[in-house]
Structure 1
């Protein structure tokens, strides 16, 4: 058995805790680890950034505990109950293949050869590449479904298109890793915040497993490389428009169907629609479709509706021609709807969003969407686990309705047509309508999800359709479900020069960041918020607030130097604007960063400085209503910093003060968090007997708070204290 105080064991524990910073248990364990390391080494040791620093700290801990049995026991007890990274517990499957799949025998054989290639340490990976509409995605899915027996441990899928801000380069690799880990069953709160840790966890989760990973709509090798593993049982299929330079993979070009297979596909799809093909017209139709599966399916759909137009010729881009034919065959209102909805890459278009964009009632919007879907110009939106969906569950704004997305091929053509058919003014108005709808959806949901938080310039409003949320959890779910559209709205608002909408959307998404993480998804939007508000006025309160929100995000992602710069900029702007409440928040946030960095004295100094700023707020001044709670939170934070410094009595005094406030106001969650801090202070100071009743009270307080990870942390803390009590 590995000695828990060995350098390797200490490094493993610190690494595991650092990887678990996505949930409350991990954050608490990390902060406690910093205090314990400081106590063991006898001086301040800053939190490690990178493997080399972590190994150096592990060596210092090992050198200290081997000469002190009491410290060795303290570290061993802590290590035994430290949180461990998540492990997979699902066998995921691909979504169903298309019903009508023709030919591709050569490409399928090439996939099978790479999948069964003898393991030699090189990743097994194949890139299917071809123009839009040629069927690379369908081929990847069909082969995966047909060969499911090869992969008894599961098949994963990620759509790399990307949505929202930063989507031009596709989904961020960190987001791709998170999507894959979630499909394997790793809970969101156990997925590490940094890309390197996610990459390490995915490799650990795939070791010894036989898995297929399908990466669809890839745009660059950079999206793929972090996913690759040398695990012999893993096969990766990438679908892309072009070969991906920089990726050492088997390239499999996917070209047009042969005339024979094109005829077969057209015949099967037409037969399913109960249409008898006109044999005389088939040759011209096949020539026009030029072996494009997308064009053939679209043509068959129009045959079903008796709309096919024999214009154009075989020389044109078949898929683009099919899109043009489909749009021209639409009723005028449906064609206009498609053109205007295509202005942005909305990941999930439901009736409410469509109605707002087009200026229709929801029933009319639903009818138009159904017509577009029936013409194969809209497709059902992918599941959120497969690429950031946006449909509500039951009770949400979409009422559980169907949502759609527009293929890039169709969107590009329709968006261009809109300028000619509808004019720039109409196009811009439609886009602004969509952004406005997103703002009016997000703000009431945000207030319901986090009713006690303060917001800058917040105004009361109701959600679209008068939706009421039964509790904070339902409102938070609504925000998370619509996140893809809200992020796209941020990007759109920035392009429109609407800094107010950019700010309001980012502020409304704060509960998602605070309670659900999603830090990698939100980061581009927050950067857009800083750009937009600074361009309007760098010393404005909105710019300051955006710097604070960005800093909090960067803190969770482990990008601490940039987080420090953001908080410093926020404090400077808040002070320049004369906004004391915001200034205090920025300074307090810098203190929380210092806690994460194990810089406990500097953290305490920040909390003291934030308290002095709060003292400058007049009794009837802005933010005064929130002052008692803000001071109580600062007291808790001071107590945490003092515990890290080993000043047990002073820490207890601060924490008791905060606890009295939260008990009186009935804030169950903050009561439990403060009880936990106090119990940890008692344990660290050698009073495990006094800690146990506080832990029991905290567990009872969280009974209805759905604080799963905090409860795990409390139970581990209780077990540790009971063991220490028995030793005493």
Structure 2
């Protein structure tokens, strides 16, 4: 039988709980672990921040429980019910390959050789590289779809967006995407890159998987994904070989004239177009064996408006883009030039209408025309995106043909639309609590949500575009838009994690507010939001610095409500660090600061709720200190408020805290009714992870009460 009190087992349990901090069950379990460790060891132990500190804490626990059977039973009960990373139980497949595919026999054979290479501990990796439009992505998808039986446990895909001038997708976000495709729920994806790497390795150890990493820019994006698991094969696509990546390089070159002719013939035949023999040589010459150029030409031939004005650029894909734009109606060409000024991940009729200053119906027709000419690509959710090679050409053309002033106004219009979308959605997603300032932009038509969940989903689905808007607003020097958008994303940070995705936006918010008004309330608010994000990413020293700066600014500005929030946030960090006495002192200080809120001051209407939350936090800190009676007193006071105001979610969380306090103080039977009440309160809240924590707590209490964890 596994000894759950061995130093190795203790470290494994604490590591697993720490990796689960992305969800409410993990956070609650981590806090409970801190209190239990303090009780077992007999003094305060700081939460471990790295592997060495984790090993040290595990050894302290192991040494203590060996001397006390009662403590050993308490640890074993916790270890058995502690949350573990989610199951990776999906078998994803790649999206459908292109219908028309020609040649590439030697490249396909090279992929098959690397995929079937004898396992020797080295990762199986192949890099397909070549100029834009040469078909590296198409080959990776086509080969993968044809080799489905080779990878029965799944095929994963991530677009690293490294083909354009931007830095590309962060490796941590790539790891999160791959884990999600394997079936790990978003709230169970670990917050840190290191833990994500470890979980991905664990999920792929015994699986036969294909991973396609598209549009890579550097080896640094690839290395965190690589594993020595014998059944995993990674295909990377890039413009060039990637120095620093030990992989098989497979260059793609232009199609031969014979294969180019065949591809063009197949596509046009499907479009019910007969190729003109007199036109065909000119088309083939202009396309120069580029699959993208051939497909774009076929689209224009199908529409019966083939043009070849102007001299080829020397890059057939670039020439194809130029030809395609010339074939557009003037309003569609202008739309492409203006939309291409930024890398918007999801373009719809509403955003297009805002950029162009036209009605949405007309904007939808323009997008249809751009899609028909293969100048924008359709996404699965009904939006569009612009290929990097199209965007680069169209953006340059836009500056020369529209002029810098018109281009800047179009980009600013897109940012304004993002603000007008995000703020009402944010308010609908998180109706309680206070915000610094009220939305000043009118809400777009139809931006009404039936419930907070719908608004939260709308924010999440538009997150990529909103993040691009924040980066754009910073470039434009629009500090107000940066602040408003960053603050509007708080519900996603609070309820859905997304911490690694949101970090660049919060960094931008801190930069612009610091540069424009370093001692403003906006600057303080951004520091607080950044600190809360860094807390979840387990970058605790940086979080402490952010909270300290927020506290300094808020106090100097005389902003009482914000000052209290900053100090409260530092207390929440201290809870995460298992520094329970300091956490309690922070909550006490925050409560005293709230005494200074004037009767007509900002946040006055939220004051009773703010104090109730502080009472709950104080109860949690006192529980961590082992002061059971005062902990119960604080928690019961908070519970009375949340029951009276019918806040089901906070009622359930406070009931859970009370139950944990009773369980930790040796009264598990008294905790069971509170657990059942908390479970009932969450029935209509769609609160999966608090329920996970409650089930684990119920199991421990039943076991400790002698009822048996398999009853009820």
Shorter-chain TM-score category?
A: over 0.9
Instruction: Please give the secondary structure, in 1, of the residue aligned with 2:128.
Output: strand
Give unpaired runs (5+ residues) of structure 1: 384-390, 392-401
Instruction: Please give the secondary structure, in 1, of the residue aligned with 2:545.
Output: helix
Please say if residues 162 and 172 of structure 1, whose CA atoms lie closer than 8 Å, have aligned partners that are also in contact. Answer: no
The aligned counterpart of 1:87 is 87
The aligned counterpart of 2:293 is 295
Q: Structure 1, residues 476-503: CA drift from partner, whole Å, max 9, x if none?
A: 0000011111101000111110000000
The aligned counterpart of 1:18 is 18
Distance 2:166 2:374 in 1: 24
The aligned counterpart of 1:97 is 97
> CA offset at residue 620 of structure 1?
2.1
Q: Structure 1, residues 406-455: CA drift from partner, whole Å, max 9, x if none?
A: 00101011111111211111111111111111101011111110000210
Distance 1:551 1:671 in 2: 26
Structure 2 residue corresponding to 1:426, chosen from 402, 406, 419? 406
Structure 2 residue corresponding to 1:587, chosen from 543, 557, 567? 567
Q: Does 1:149 align with 2:149?
A: yes
Instruction: Please give the secondary structure, in 2, of the residue aligned with 1:466.
Output: coil
The aligned counterpart of 1:123 is 123
Please say if residues 655 and 678 of structure 1, whose CA atoms lie closer than 8 Å, have aligned partners that are also in contact. Answer: yes
Instruction: Please give the secondary structure, in 1, of the residue aligned with 2:166.
Output: helix
Structure 2 residue corresponding to 1:226, chosen from 219, 224, 236? 224
Distance 2:706 2:136 in 1: 64
Alignment of 1:688-703 (within 5 A): 688-703=668-683
The aligned counterpart of 2:337 is 339
The aligned counterpart of 1:133 is 133
Distance 1:474 1:444 in 2: 12
> CA offset at residue 280 of structure 1?
2.2
Distance 1:371 1:281 in 2: 24
The aligned counterpart of 2:642 is 662
Structure 2 residue corresponding to 1:568, chosen from 541, 548, 555? 548
> CA offset at residue 169 of structure 1?
1.1
Instruction: Please give the secondary structure, in 1, of the residue aligned with 2:214.
Output: strand
Q: Does 1:403 align with 2:383?
A: yes
Alignment of 1:270-669 (within 5 A): 270-313=268-311, 316-381=314-379, 383=380, 391=381, 402-459=382-439, 463-669=443-649
Please say if residues 25 and 709 of structure 1, whose CA atoms lie closer than 8 Å, have aligned partners that are also in contact. Answer: yes
Q: Structure 1, residues 183-225: CA drift from partner, whole Å, max 9, x if none?
A: 0001111111011111010011001110000000111111100
The aligned counterpart of 1:58 is 58
> CA offset at residue 461 of structure 1?
6.2
Distance 1:32 1:307 in 2: 69
Q: Structure 1, residues 37-75: CA drift from partner, whole Å, max 9, x if none?
A: 001000110000111111111111010011101100110
Q: Does 1:708 align with 2:708?
A: no
Q: Which of 149-158 and 416-425 deviates more? A: 416-425
Instruction: Please give the secondary structure, in 2, of the residue aligned with 1:239.
Output: strand
Normalised by the length of structure 1, the TM-score is: 0.96
Q: Which of 583-592 and 313-322 deviates more? A: 313-322
Please say if residues 428 and 455 of structure 2, whose CA atoms lie closer than 8 Å, have aligned partners that are also in contact. Answer: yes
Distance 1:495 1:661 in 2: 46
Distance 1:142 1:725 in 2: 59
The aligned counterpart of 1:388 is none
Instruction: Please give the secondary structure, in 2, of the residue aligned with 1:277.
Output: coil
Instruction: Please give the secondary structure, in 2, of the residue aligned with 1:464.
Output: coil
Q: Structure 1, residues 373-416: CA drift from partner, whole Å, max 9, x if none?
A: 001101012x5xxxxxxx5xxxxxxxxxx210000101011111
Instruction: Please give the secondary structure, in 1, of the residue aligned with 2:347.
Output: coil
Would the alpha carbon gap of residues 666 and 462 (structure 1) be closer, same or farther in structure 2, given more than 3 Å must change? farther
Q: Structure 1, residues 560-586: CA drift from partner, whole Å, max 9, x if none?
A: 111111111111111122111001101
The aligned counterpart of 1:2 is 2
Please say if residues 288 and 312 of structure 1, whose CA atoms lie closer than 8 Å, have aligned partners that are also in contact. Answer: no
Please say if residues 287 and 314 of structure 1, whose CA atoms lie closer than 8 Å, have aligned partners that are also in contact. Answer: no
Q: Does 1:32 align with 2:32?
A: yes
Distance 1:670 1:717 in 2: 17
Structure 2 residue corresponding to 1:265, chosen from 258, 263, 266? 263
> CA offset at residue 162 of structure 1?
7.1
Normalised by the length of structure 2, the TM-score is: 0.98
Would the alpha carbon gap of residues 694 and 162 (structure 1) be closer, same or farther in structure 2, given more than 3 Å must change? farther
Distance 2:25 2:411 in 1: 42
Q: CA RMSD in A?
A: 1.4
Please say if residues 125 and 236 of structure 2, whose CA atoms lie closer than 8 Å, have aligned partners that are also in contact. Answer: yes
Runs of 4+ aligned structure 1 residues displaced above 6 Å come to none
Please say if residues 161 and 167 of structure 1, whose CA atoms lie closer than 8 Å, have aligned partners that are also in contact. Answer: no
The aligned counterpart of 1:178 is 176
Distance 2:18 2:674 in 1: 26
> CA offset at residue 613 of structure 1?
0.9
Distance 1:318 1:84 in 2: 52
Please say if residues 445 and 463 of structure 1, whose CA atoms lie closer than 8 Å, have aligned partners that are also in contact. Answer: no
Please say if residues 156 and 180 of structure 1, whose CA atoms lie closer than 8 Å, have aligned partners that are also in contact. Answer: yes
Please say if residues 256 and 291 of structure 1, whose CA atoms lie closer than 8 Å, have aligned partners that are also in contact. Answer: yes
Instruction: Please give the secondary structure, in 1, of the residue aligned with 2:211.
Output: strand
> CA offset at residue 282 of structure 1?
1.6
Instruction: Please give the secondary structure, in 2, of the residue aligned with 1:158.
Output: strand
Instruction: Please give the secondary structure, in 1, of the residue aligned with 2:574.
Output: helix
Would the alpha carbon gap of residues 87 and 149 (structure 1) be closer, same or farther in structure 2, given more than 3 Å must change? same
> CA offset at residue 727 of structure 1?
7.5
Aligned residues: 708
Give unpaired runs (5+ residues) of structure 2: none
> CA offset at residue 89 of structure 1?
1.0
The aligned counterpart of 1:685 is 665
> CA offset at residue 458 of structure 1?
1.3
Please say if residues 24 and 709 of structure 1, whose CA atoms lie closer than 8 Å, have aligned partners that are also in contact. Answer: yes
Distance 1:71 1:661 in 2: 35
Please say if residues 123 and 228 of structure 2, whose CA atoms lie closer than 8 Å, have aligned partners that are also in contact. Answer: yes
Distance 1:156 1:287 in 2: 37
Instruction: Please give the secondary structure, in 1, of the residue aligned with 2:292.
Output: helix
Q: Structure 1, residues 524-568: CA drift from partner, whole Å, max 9, x if none?
A: 011001001111111000010000001101100111111111111
Please say if residues 449 and 476 of structure 1, whose CA atoms lie closer than 8 Å, have aligned partners that are also in contact. Answer: yes
Distance 1:459 1:417 in 2: 35
Instruction: Please give the secondary structure, in 1, of the residue aligned with 2:395.
Output: helix
Please say if residues 38 and 45 of structure 1, whose CA atoms lie closer than 8 Å, have aligned partners that are also in contact. Answer: yes
Q: Which of 176-185 and 309-318 deviates more? A: 309-318
Please say if residues 348 and 405 of structure 1, whose CA atoms lie closer than 8 Å, have aligned partners that are also in contact. Answer: yes
Distance 1:315 1:581 in 2: 61
> CA offset at residue 466 of structure 1?
3.1
Instruction: Please give the secondary structure, in 2, of the residue aligned with 1:127.
Output: strand
